[in-house]
Amino acid sequence: MLDVTVKDHWIEDADGRLQGRLFVRSWQASSPSASDIPIILMHDSLGSVELWRSFPAELAVATGRTVIAYDRLGFGQSDPYPHKLAQDFVSDEANTGFAALVQDMGIDRFILFGHSVGGGMAVHCALAHGQACAALITESAQMFVEEKTVLGVEQARELFKDQKQLDRLRKFHGEKTEWVLDAWISTWLSPAFACWTLEPVLPQLTCPILAIHGAEDEYGTSRHPQLMGELAGGPVQVELMPDTRHVPHREKESEVVERVASFLQVLDL
C-alpha cells in the first residue's frame, strides 16, 4: 500500500462558462520533494480519473510531487457535456476545463502529462499558459490523423458492438457512456476532422518535452513522437518503448514512472 494522501475535489460552474461541474482528484506522497510544481494528468478519449488506476499514486511517490487528474466535462464523474463534441475540442480544452482547474486550485506552475488525445490537449495547454508550463510529457499522443489511427478506431467501433465491452466502459462513465464512445468514434472518423494536425503549433513549444510512445501502438506509428522531436521549439527527449501498445502507463507502469521521474530529476525543477 503506497503512503499517499488522496483528496477529491469539485470545480463548481459558478458562472456557466464550463457548462457543468468537473471532478478532480489529487495524490500527495507522504515525503514530498522540495518542489511545489504539481504534475497534471490529461486523460485519453475514453479515459477518466479512475482509469488512471494506480499510476498517479506511483508517480507521486517516485517524484515526490502532487499529482492531479480531472475528468473532462462529459467524462467520468464530471457533469454531462450538453452538446455534440466540437471539432476544435483538442485546442479548446486549454481555455475551458484546464483553465478552470488551474484557476480554482491556484496553480501558478505545472508539469503536464497527456495520454493519447490528452497529449494533444496538453500541447495546447502548454502554449496557452506559456511560462506556467515547466515541462510537457506526452504519451501515445497523436500529432495528426494517421491512417493507422483511423483503422484502430474503426476496429474499436466493431469491438464496442459487444454489450460486454460497453458495460465495462459504463462502470467509469455511467449514463454518459454512449456520448463518450460516440464523441471518440464520430470525431476521429469524420471527414471534417481528417486534416487536424498539431504540426503548425509545435514550433511554438519552448518547454522541455518527453515524448513517450509504444512501438506497437495500435493507434499510431512512431512518426508521431518523431514529429514532436523534429518540430518542437524546445528540447525534446523521444522514448520509443519496445513491445508496448497504446497505454504504456498501464502495460509497463513502473518503467513509465521511472522514465518520467528521471526526466524531471535531470531538469531539476
- What pLDDT score does 34 carry? 66
CA atoms within 13 A on the CB side of 47: 23
- What pLDDT score does 124 carry? 98
Question: Domain map of the chain by residue range?
Answer: 4-145+197-267
- What pLDDT score does 236 carry? 98
pLDDT in tens, the chain (269 residues): 678 999 999 999 877 888 999 999 999 988 777 678 999 999 999 999 999 999 999 999 999 999 999 999 999 999 999 988 888 999 999 999 999 999 999 999 999 999 999 999 999 999 999 999 999 999 999 999 999 999 999 999 999 999 999 999 999 999 999 999 999 999 999 999 999 999 999 999 999 999 999 999 999 999 999 999 999 999 999 999 999 999 999 999 999 999 999 999 999 88
User: Spelled out in words, what is the top-level CATH class assigned to the domain 4-145+197-267?
Assistant: alpha beta
- What pLDDT score does 219 carry? 97
Cβ 201 vs Cβ 127: under 8 Å: yes
DSSP string, the chain: ---EEEEEEEE--SSSSSSS-EEEEEEEESS--S----EEEE--TT--SGGGTTHHHHHHHHH-S-EEEEPPTTSTTSPPPSSPPPTTHHHHGGGTHHHHHHHHTT-SSEEEEEETHHHHHHHHHHHHTGGGEEEEEEES--SB--HHHHHHHHHHHHHTTSHHHHHHHHHHHGGGHHHHHHHHHHHHT-GGGTT-BSTTTGGG--S-EEEEEETT-TT--THHHHHHHHH-SS-EEEEEETT--S-HHHHTHHHHHHHHHHHHHHHT-
- What pLDDT score does 13 carry? 86
- What pLDDT score does 139 carry? 98
pTM, rounded to two decimals: 0.97
Alpha-carbon span 235 to 232, nearest angstrom: 7
Backbone angles phi, psi at 101, to 5 degrees: -60, -55
